[in-house]
Amino acid sequence: MNKNKPIGIIFDIDGCISESSKRFSKLDITAALSGDKAKYIESIREYDKDCFEDSIIEPGLDLLIALTNFYNPEKIFFITARGGGNRGPALQWLKDENIWDDKCELIMREEDLDVNNFQITFQEDHAIYKQETARELGRTLI
């Protein structure tokens, strides 16, 4: 194996290849800001249940295709801060859009929707999660 060849490409989903703002609007941010965990969890379940309204961001998909064609990676890692409750719909969306193949792996944030354990997180937390996950993934692959 060429030591200069990347083992994998790490790519985000939301805002990169998926325009998910319609689904995102289902999240009750007011409940999150007020600390109403039960109401916010209810909105997360609505957000998680499908990805039908998501659409492709063409420049992002073009970039992913260009990187994949140029580097021919062994793996493509999709790291997303979406909670694990959206795994099935997210995978189905990637497959329906012909983005998913046997080189792909989906890495999602663990999520406990038990109101007693639930921790409300925001965009900054999601960015940190993706950064730390990508950094750790890079360490394990090198």
Q: What is the pLDDT of residues 12-65, one digit of tens each?
A: 999 999 999 999 999 999 999 999 999 999 999 999 999 999 999 999 999 999
Does position 111 have pLDDT exceeding 50, yes or no?
yes
Other beta carbons within 10 angstroms of residue 76's beta carbon come to 20
pLDDT number for residue 35: 92
- What's the mean pLDDT in 108-136? 88
The residue-averaged pLDDT of 67-93 equals: 94
Query: What distance in Å separates the CA atoms of residue 107 and residue 113, rounded to the nearest whole number?
Result: 18
- Res. 1: pLDDT tops 60: no
Is 2 inside a domain boundary?
Answer: no
pLDDT at 2 over 60: no
* 126 located within any domain: yes
**Residue 3 belongs to a domain:** no
Strands (E), 13-129: 18-19, 55-56, 75-83, 104-109
**Cα–Cα distance between 53 and 41 in angstroms, integer?**
20
Number of structural domains (the chain) is 1
* Beta-bridge mates of residue 18: 14, 56
Cα separation, 129 vs 112, in Å, equals 16
Query: Can you say whether residue 15 is alpha, beta or left, with left for phi > 0 and alpha for psi between -120 and 50 degrees?
Result: left
Q: What is the pLDDT of residue 5?
A: 60
Q: Residue 102 is part of which domain span?
A: 8-141
Q: Is 1 a member of any domain?
A: no
Which amino acid, one-letter code, is at 99?
I
Tell if the pTM clears 0.85, that is, is over it.
yes
Q: Is residue 77 part of a domain?
A: yes
Contacts of 104 (CB under 8 A, 6+ apart): 75, 76, 77, 78, 94
Q: Tell me the pLDDT band of 125, cut-offs 50, 70 and 90.
A: confident
Task: List, for residues 126-139, the tens digit of each pLDDT value.
Answer: 899 999 999 999 88
Q: pLDDT tens, 9-18?
A: 999 999 999 9
- DSSP 8-state assignment for residue 85: G
